[in-house]
Structures are given as structure tokens and as C-alpha cells.
Amino acid sequence: MSPHLPPVSPAVTAQLVAALSPRLRKRLDAGVAKIGGRPVVREGDVVRVAVDDDTDLELHAPGGVVTRAEAIRCGCLLAPDCLHRAAAASAAPVADPAESPEPAPPSAPSPAPAPGPAPAGGPVPASATPAQRAAAVALRDAAAAVLEAGIDGAGAVLQAELLRAAHTARLAGLPRAAGRAVAVVTALRAARGADPAHRLSDLTAALRDVLFLAHRLPEATGPELAALCGRVRQPYAPDGSLRLYGLFAEPVLTTTGYAGTVTWTCDASGRLCTVPDVAPGGADRAMGSADRAVRVGDTALTPRELSRAGLAVSGATVSPTGRLGAGAGVRAVRASGASWHAEPLDRLWAVPVAEQVGRALAGDVGLPSADDAAVRKPGDDRDGQDLLFLDITVVGTVQEAAGACLLADCDGLAVRLAAAHDDPALPHRENLRLLALLASARGTRLRVVARLTPAPLPRALLLAASHPTDPDAHVDLGLDRLRRADLPATPAPGTAPGARSAPVAQPASAADEAPVHLLRRRVHQAVSGGRRVLAFPGSREPEAARLRRYGLGTAGELLAELHDTAAQRARDPFGRLLPADTGRFARAWLGAALYTEEVDRALCAAAWGVSLPEPAPADRTRTGPAPAIAPPGRGGSP
């Protein structure tokens, strides 16, 4: 995926790939690699790519997005049926499906647009329409083909089929499924292009969501159907007058080509609101947007200023996820901010840690909840449910596979605080290394804001922290850069030299941890290498037996089923192998993926000492009852 090309609508890519002959389709992946390495020149809304010395390719993107196939023009002799146009569309980032209307691919008629889910308070759809059922089947087949092939085999042709299914789903009133399908394609392109920001776990989660939605949509009814369908746009509701206090700001940098800053604020009642400034761009925009003014009503403040100041807003409009509107009727003036130790911000840290973790895990059920189901740009979907407000003491560092992270004491609990982003342009890692030096300043306490990450051990991503020497100030760890001069030079006052910090609970040993990684590893291997990787004979029986020994009988059965469906191949009367049953393998993989996600949440809750409530039917992300799982040594058994 080339970040220098403008985003292309999914329907355009699907149309251009479908128009290729079988011979050219075989050469499409090589063409994508060639286009990605050619020089690019941008002149206004036109982007030119020098294919070779005699051929130029033009992409016309009014408004920044290519929305028509005719907007991609090639100067070669085979145009418009040449390989270059389809390769350029396949190499470009995928446009947000909600950015602009897309034309239906002419090679395959799309169903007529179906009404989307009813707005809040309106009539609830009784069952899926025929168009939605057909769209779900198309999504299931396209996603199963991607899972069958794996990353290496899911080239531009399979990606185009999934984009076609996403476009069909959007026309059928399924924006949630369409958005997740586009996320799968974006992650595939990042993986195949060796993008450092690619994470196999992100691709696995997106593929799991698509298959789950395709599995549940035909059978869902009522509120569950409305939640699974989603909304194209977030509604904004009038909220009267608000007095907002800046809390912190975090950079946004995604693999989909968006970057910017989200500023978090808090009103007098403790409710969180966001002011995002996210647009297409890279790391330079993520850092530069912190000092770029964002207009709210009549006031223009930079995210860095707003995170430390306040706003008095009249005629405010707020989305269900807490995004503050900036319409013509909004009036706002700058006001004074508040320290993290003063009201109303102090009440965020007064909530018990177990209650905060329970709230975060209750909203983290794999797919967004019914009120968070819209297809949105990055930065719009952060309602703050997964934020943790912790009082900690830094006691050292601990090494993980992704690098070192802080080990902190939080009320006697050993919490791992990792960098929120690994991009070297952002100062997360550098600030984390400096904060680790606070372990030598015994008794130094910090207030931090972190984002929970489900793991068998208490773990979160560090976003902001109080200043080490000025408790009334804070540091946005993704935007500000700490210096050694900001750290205390001597132990904290009142602490005797050589005094030890508060006792820290030791992490569970490897022998006491539930071996859920055995199943999770196979789930990830299927996404990376395809079905054939799990079809090879190996250590499947010892792994399943080990899972059963730890009381994870369901995990053992799912692992055995996953291997069996991967290796099973029927033969015709002449003994020839028939094509594999991709649908059955996809169902087995989906069951294993949903189970591991639920186990991770259960283990995370046990690590933090939290009891998880049973999710509502509309928010359920599994096909059966919730597994009641507790790690060995903590009591309980599945």
C-alpha cells in the first residue's frame, strides 16, 4: 500500500479488478508492487505516477478521494482495460466507505439500497432483509477465501472480492460489516507490504469481526440486528451549556492513512468529551496537529492548549461516543483549566481501580456496542470506556516481546505500563525510558491515564502522566518530550535513603498460567499462513491434551476441530481430491477466535480482581454461552 496515492473507494477497486482478463489477474500482484515503487507527483487534486519512460498514470481525486473508475486514467496502448489502472487502485489506500457515495460495480448488479438500522427510539427491524442476507453470504464467502489463502495468498484479486462484498453490504444497510471488511483489506495490504505498523492481532480481530457479523446477521432480530447493522453516521444530540476542563491529548496514527490528535476533556459531572482533529496523513501530521488550532464555536485552541485549559460552551451538541460537535449554532469561549488533583478531574481517580477495569472490560466484547456501531474515522470511536485513571509508584521495568515497559505499583498490584505507539516519530518510547528512572526516586507517586489491554497480567498502554516534579501539571506522553531535568534529582521528601517502595504483587509464574496461547497461536497461524499451515501433522494432540489438563476442555475440543477441518479433504469417485470446505474451516476458526478473546477477557478480569457481568444479547460476540474460566490457582474451573 502506497501512502503517496490518494484513497480509492472500494467499489472502484472492485470494478477495475473485475474488468481484467484472467491472464492479467495473474499478473496483478506484480503490477501492484511495480506501481508502489514508481515516482509519484501530486498537483492539486491530480496524482501522476510514472509507470515507465513513456507511460503516465493519473488519479483524479476531487476532495482527496477517487470515487469513479473513470478518474484513474492511463496513457498506455491497452487503456482503459490495462493492468495499470487496477494495480494503482489496489496499491492505494482504501477510502472510508462513509466518505462519499460509491458507484456500484457494473459487472455484478448490486442490490437496491436497504434501509439502515432504525435510529434510537425508532422502530426496531424485525429481521434481516433479503438484500442483507445476500450481503452477509457474500461477506462470509469472501472472508473465508481470505482465511483459506492466508496473508501470502490473499493478493489483490481476493482483496477486490472482499471490497466488492463490503460495497454490497454498505448498499444493503450494513455499514458495520462494510467497515470491518475494509479494515481487513487495509491490514492485508500493510502485512504484504511489510509495513512496520502492521500487527497480526489487528488483522485477526478484523477478520474475526467480519466472519462473526456474516454468521449472526441472517439469524438476528430486533435490537441485536440493529446493533449488528450499525449506523453510517453518529447522530449529534443537543446538550445545552457545558463547562469543559482539558484532561490530556493523544496522537492518532493508523495504518489506514489517518493521523492527527484527539483531545480529551471532562465536564463538571465527570463525563468525558473529545475534540478530534484527524485527517489523512502520516506521523508528521500526528505531531504537527498538536500545535494546529482546532475551532470549536468562536474559539480556536490547539490540542496542546486545550488539554491544559478549559471551554465554556453554549448550544453544545455531543455524539453518543462523546465527540463534541462544532456546528454553526455552537458558541464557545476559552476558560480556565483544572489540575488533575482538583475537581472535577480528581473524581476520575477517585473511582476504584476494579470498577474502572470492570467498566472497560464490559465494553470490550470484541465488537463495538450498539451505540458505537457506526463507521467512523479514527478518533471518533473512543468513548473513554477503556481509559484507566491510576495512582502509581514506578518500581522498575520488565522486558516483554515488544520491548521494555514500566512496572508500577498500584495499590499493591503489579501493573505493566507499555508504550501506546511504537512509531519512532512519536515520543512514547523515549518518555517511557525516562519515567523508568523514577524507580530510583523511592516513593515518587504519579497520576497516569492509560488504556486497558486485555492480558493475563495487569497491563495497560500509557497515554499521559502527571509531571514528576510539578503535580499540578501533566505530560502528554505521545506529544510532549520529557527531559532529564524534569525528573527529581533526589529521593522524594520524607523518604529515608535506601527505603524500599511499597510491596508489589509478583506476576504469576509461567507454570501457573493457563496455556491459552496454544489455541491463540493456531488462530494467528491460520490468518498468517492459511488453512494449509494447520493441515500439516504436528503436535496437535499434545497441545489439546495440555489444554484439557489445565481444565480448558472446550479449548482442547476447538483446537482439535480446527486441525481436523484444516486437514479434511474429500475425494471424488475417481480418488481425486475435491476443493477444501472453506466454510466449515471458517466456522471452526471463528469459534476458536471468539473463545480465545473471551478467555483473554476472563483472565484479565481475574488478574485485576474483577467480576465480569454477563453481556447483553445485542453485545454478545460468541455463538454459545460465555465460558466461565478462571486461571489455575485462583479457584473455579471451566
- 339 and 323 both lie in a single domain: yes
Confidence at residue 370, expressed as pLDDT on a 0 to 100 scale = 30
Overall size of the chain counted in residues? 638
* Residue 553 per-residue DSSP state: H
**Under a CB-based contact definition with an 8 Å cutoff, are residues 347 and 247 in contact?**
no
- Do 285 and 302 share a domain, yes or no? yes
Task: State residue 102's pLDDT score.
Answer: 40
In a domain, 13, yes or no: no
What is the Rg, in whole angstroms, of the alpha carbon atoms belonging to the chain? 26
Residue 592 belongs to a domain: yes
Is residue 260 located within the same domain as residue 344?
yes
Question: How many CB atoms neighbour CB 201 within 10 A?
Answer: 12
The domain boundary residue, chosen from 202, 229, 256: 229
- Closest of 612, 135, 619 to residue 367, by C-alpha: 619
Q: Are residues 518 and 615 in the same domain?
A: yes
Asked if 17 contacts 77 with a C-beta cutoff of 8 angstroms, the reply is no
Of the candidates 201, 229, 257, which is a domain's last residue?
A: 229
Residue 218 lies in a domain: yes
Query: Per the structure block, which three cell numbers stand in for 531?
Result: 488453512
Higher pLDDT, 364 or 374: 364
Amino acid at 636: G
Considering the domain architecture, whether residues 117 and 214 belong to the same structural domain is answered as yes
For 336, counting Cβ atoms within 10 Å of its Cβ (0-12 exposed, 13-18 middle, 19+ buried), the class is exposed
What DSSP string runs through 38-53?
S-EEEETTEEEEE-SS
Residue 411 lies in a domain: no
pLDDT at 491: 52
Handedness of CA 274, 280, 285, 289 (dihedral sign): negative
Strand-by-strand arrangement of the 258-266 sheet: 272-280, 258-266, 237-253, 310-318, 331-335
Q: Please name which of 101, 232, 108, 243 lies closest in space to residue 175, comparing C-alpha atoms.
A: 232
pLDDT higher at 345 or 543: 345
3 state SS for 170-235? HHCCCHHHHHHHHHHHHHHHHHHCCCCCCCHHHHHHHHHHHHHHHHHCCCCCHHHHHHHHCCCCCC
* Mean pLDDT in residue range 100-112: 38
- Among the listed residues 446, 463, 574, 456, the one whose alpha carbon sits nearest the alpha carbon of residue 516: 456
Last residue of a domain, one of 229, 249, 268: 229
The amino acid sitting at 427 is P
Q: Which of 140-144, 151-155, 376-380, 579-583 has the lowest mean pLDDT?
A: 376-380
Report the run of H or E that residue 435 belongs to, with start and end: helix 428-436
Same domain, 252 and 317: yes
Residue 560 lies in a domain: yes
Residue of 375, 8, 13 whose CA lies nearest to 159: 13
Shared domain check, 225 and 241: no
pLDDT tens across 287-320, in order? 888 899 888 877 889 999 999 999 999 988 888 8
Q: Which of 112-116, 163-167, 492-496 has the lowest mean pLDDT?
A: 112-116
- The residues, ordered by sequence, that sit 6+ positions from 237 with a Cβ below 8 Å of its Cβ are 317, 318, 319, 320
Q: What is the mean pLDDT of residues 170-185?
A: 92
Is 317 a member of any domain?
yes
Residue 342 sits in a domain of what CATH number?
2.40.50
> What is the mean pLDDT of the segment spanning 91-113?
53
* 154-163, 205-214, 536-545: the lowest-pLDDT one: 536-545
- Chain center to CA of 213: 16
Q: Residue 522 phi/psi, 5° resolution? A: -70, -35
CA angle 185, 190, 196 (to 5 degrees): 155
Mean pLDDT score, 401-413: 86
DSSP codes, 234-273: ---EEEEEEEEEEEEEEEEE-TTSEEEEEEEEE-TTS-EE
C-beta of residue 610 within 8 angstroms of C-beta of residue 361: yes
Burial class (CB in 10 A: 0-12, 13-18, 19+), 417: buried
Asked whether the predicted pLDDT for residue 221 surpasses 60, the reply is: yes
Given pLDDT bands bounded at 50, 70 and 90, which one contains residue 124? low
Instruction: Judge whether 288 lies within some domain.
Output: yes
Instruction: Classify residue 323: in a domain, yes or no.
Output: yes
Domain count, the chain: 3
Is residue 603 within 8 A of residue 453, CB to CB? The reply is: no
- The confidence score (pLDDT) of residue 95 equals 82
- In the numeric block, the cell 505507539 is attached to 421
Q: What does 455-487 look like in DSSP terms, one character per residue?
A: -SS-EEEEEEEE-SS-TT-EEETTT----GGGS
Name the residue range of residue 324's domain.
237-348
Do 202 and 310 lie in a common domain?
no
Q: Based on the domain organization, do 551 and 595 belong to the same domain?
A: yes
How is residue 522 written as a grid cell?
A: 493456531
Burial 469-501 (b: 16+ CB within 10 A, else e): eeeeebbbbbbbebeeebbeeebeeeeeeeeeb
**Containing H/E element for 331?**
strand 331-335
Rounded-to-integer distance, Cα 10 and Cα 335, Å: 44
Average pLDDT score over the chain: 81
Same domain, 177 and 118: yes
- Are 389 and 356 spatial neighbours (Cβ–Cβ below 8 Å)? yes
Q: Give me the sign of the Cα torsion angle 191, 195, 196, 198.
A: negative
* 198 shares its domain with 260: no
For residues 267 and 399, the model is more confident at 267
DSSP secondary structure letters along 350-409: HS-HHHHHHHHHHT-BSB--GGG-S---TTSS--STTEEEEEEEEEEEEEETTEEEEEEE
Same domain, residue pair 176 and 272:
no
For residue 422, the Cα-to-chain-centroid distance in whole angstroms is 15
